[in-house]
Amino acid sequence: MSVLPSIIPDDRLAGLSNEDIVKYSRHILLPQVGPKGQERLKAAKVLIVGTGGLGAPLALYLAAAGVGTLGIVDFDFVEASNLQRQIIHGVRDVDRPKVASAQDRIRSINPAVDVVTYNTRLTSANALSIIEDYDVVADGTDNYPTRYLVNDACVLLGKPNVYGSIFQFEGQASVFYAKEGPCYRCLYPSPPPPGLVPSCAEGGVLGVLPGIVGTIQAAETIKLIVGGGDSLIGRLLLFDAWEMRYRELKISKDEACPICGKRPSIHELIDYEDFCGLTQGDGEEPIEDICATSLKERLDAGDRIQLIDIREPHEQAFAPFPGAKYIPLGQMARRVGEFDEQADAVFLCKIGQRSKFAIRALREAGYKGKLLNLRDGVNAWARDVDPSLPQY
């Protein structure tokens, strides 16, 4: 059991106004929170990395709880497809920066919260300078490079990292705090091979799932600030929304962890894209891409082109690509004999990521023909060539 005192020192507390007492009375009536706990929330500074599915409920509930300063980091813009789960944004916010939309919504809930926006990608160059000003970091990201970056920055700065992740119907939550227990690297020493785990944009996600997991993150953040309660430090909470089941795994600190172990070898932030295998390796042949309009021109000109669609059958059902042959990614290497090396092969997926792995698989199988990747995938074709197809 990890029951911790508050991470907010008493010398930062500045009392509550009568307005505060009215606004937060339901907190103050709880003996575990009380006036002092609410003062700590008022004095706290929390950084939320990402204002998407997880960051949305995090920001809403921490603002409503009276956290004094909320920092929000995101470089993205609101899209219509976000609204199924990212409840901090609305229809009128489509095409706005997510941090601007989130800031407006936070202020509509609690104008007393100081909202600090960072309309930028969190990187090795800026992470330490941004995170050092905050008491807690809540990680609402959806990619491995940023998760490792947030973890390492928090370990180096001695900050707790409230973690959450989601995919399809399943979610995870924990608190990684190297001063008191394991860090993210203790649980996941290395990332999965690139492309093995699809993103939510490719694999989908049940809309309510990030609300559940993000709210768990908000609860863990509040407990760290107020003090007391059994923290998720050293525990990984697993949730399956489809089966409606919770499971829990114990996490031990890895004494050989390269950043929080007894003899750490990582003393500064690294290149996390390279660490996660997302940069092109030395000697690796680059993947050539083709934009949707150029592909259309070549098809109209009658060029010999093989269109290979590697998407899942249900994707093809509602957004079919005319003239494409369906070959699942897992069958690519053993079906190499079906390709014509005299004709260029153009690979299609939703956003042009999974198709890259199909190209690599064919190369490894010894295929010598020309391979092209449709840049930004079928969504680009729907956007730039055939608006009758849905972007999804």
Q: Residue 193 carries which DSSP code?
A: P
Active site annotation includes 200: yes
Residue in this structure with the two tokens 């939309």, named with its chain if needed:
101
Rounded distance between C-alpha atoms, residue 100 and residue 242, angstroms = 33
Average pLDDT, the chain: 95
Which CATH architecture is the domain 288-384 placed in?
3-Layer(aba) Sandwich (3.40)
pLDDT class for 278, splitting at 50, 70, 90? confident
Rounded distance between C-alpha atoms, residue 39 and residue 59, angstroms = 19
Q: Which amino acid is at 212?
A: I
**Beta strands per DSSP E along 8-132:** 45-49, 69-73, 114-118
Rounded distance between C-alpha atoms, residue 260 and residue 148, angstroms = 13
Across 112-121, 287-296, 327-336, least confident range: 327-336
Beta carbons of 130 and 107 less than 8 angstroms apart: no
Whole-number percent of the chain with pLDDT over 70: 98
Burial (CB < 10 A; 0-12, 13-18, 19+), residue 13, is middle
Torsion sign across C-alpha atoms 296, 300, 305, 308: positive
Burial (CB < 10 A; 0-12, 13-18, 19+), residue 31, is exposed
Rounded distance between C-alpha atoms, residue 225 and residue 37, angstroms = 8
Beta carbons of 205 and 164 less than 8 angstroms apart: no
Rounded distance between C-alpha atoms, residue 103 and residue 219, angstroms = 21
Q: CA-CA distances (angstroms) from residue 80 to 50, 86, 366, 370?
A: 17, 10, 41, 36
Average pLDDT over residues 5-21: 96
The number of beta carbons lying within 10 Å of the beta carbon of residue 218 is 26
The pLDDT value given to residue 30: 98
pLDDT tens digits, 148-174: 999 999 999 999 999 999 999 999 999
Burial (CB < 10 A; 0-12, 13-18, 19+), residue 303, is exposed
pTM: predicted TM-score of the whole model, two decimal places: 0.87
Strands 230-231 and 2-3: antiparallel
Burial of 184-208, coded b for 16+ CB within 10 Å and e otherwise, reads bbbbeeebeeebeebebebebbbee
Report helix, strand or coil for 316: helix
**Beta strands per DSSP E along 214-292:** 230-231, 235-240, 245-250, 288-290
Say if residue 69's pLDDT is above 60: yes
Output the 3-class SS for 126-172.
Answer: CHHHHHCCCCEEEECCCCHHHHHHHHHHHHHHCCCEEEEEEEECEEE
Beta carbons of 29 and 58 less than 8 angstroms apart: no
Residues 21, 22, 25, 26, Cα dihedral to 10°: -150
Residue in this structure with the two tokens 């390709």, named with its chain if needed:
339
Q: Which amino acid is at 48?
A: I
Active site annotation includes 186: no
Nearest to 303 by CA among 338, 344, 359, 339: 344
Rounded distance between C-alpha atoms, residue 144 and residue 276, angstroms = 7
When comparing pLDDT for 241 and 286, which is higher? 241
Active-site residue (options: 154, 260, 276, 349): 349
Matching CATH topology for 2-275 and 288-384? Answer: no
What is the residue extent of each domain of the chain?
Answer: 2-275, 288-384
The pLDDT value given to residue 48: 98
Beta carbons of 33 and 186 less than 8 angstroms apart: no
pLDDT tens digits, 240-275: 999 999 999 999 999 999 999 999 999 999 999 999
The pLDDT value given to residue 151: 98
pLDDT class for 357, splitting at 50, 70, 90? confident
Query: How far is C-alpha 238 from the chain's CA centre?
Result: 17
Active-site residue (options: 154, 186, 200, 260): 200
Fold of 2-275: Rossmann fold (3.40.50)
Rounded distance between C-alpha atoms, residue 40 and residue 232, angstroms = 20
Rounded distance between C-alpha atoms, residue 143 and residue 127, angstroms = 16
The pLDDT value given to residue 187: 97
The pLDDT value given to residue 25: 98
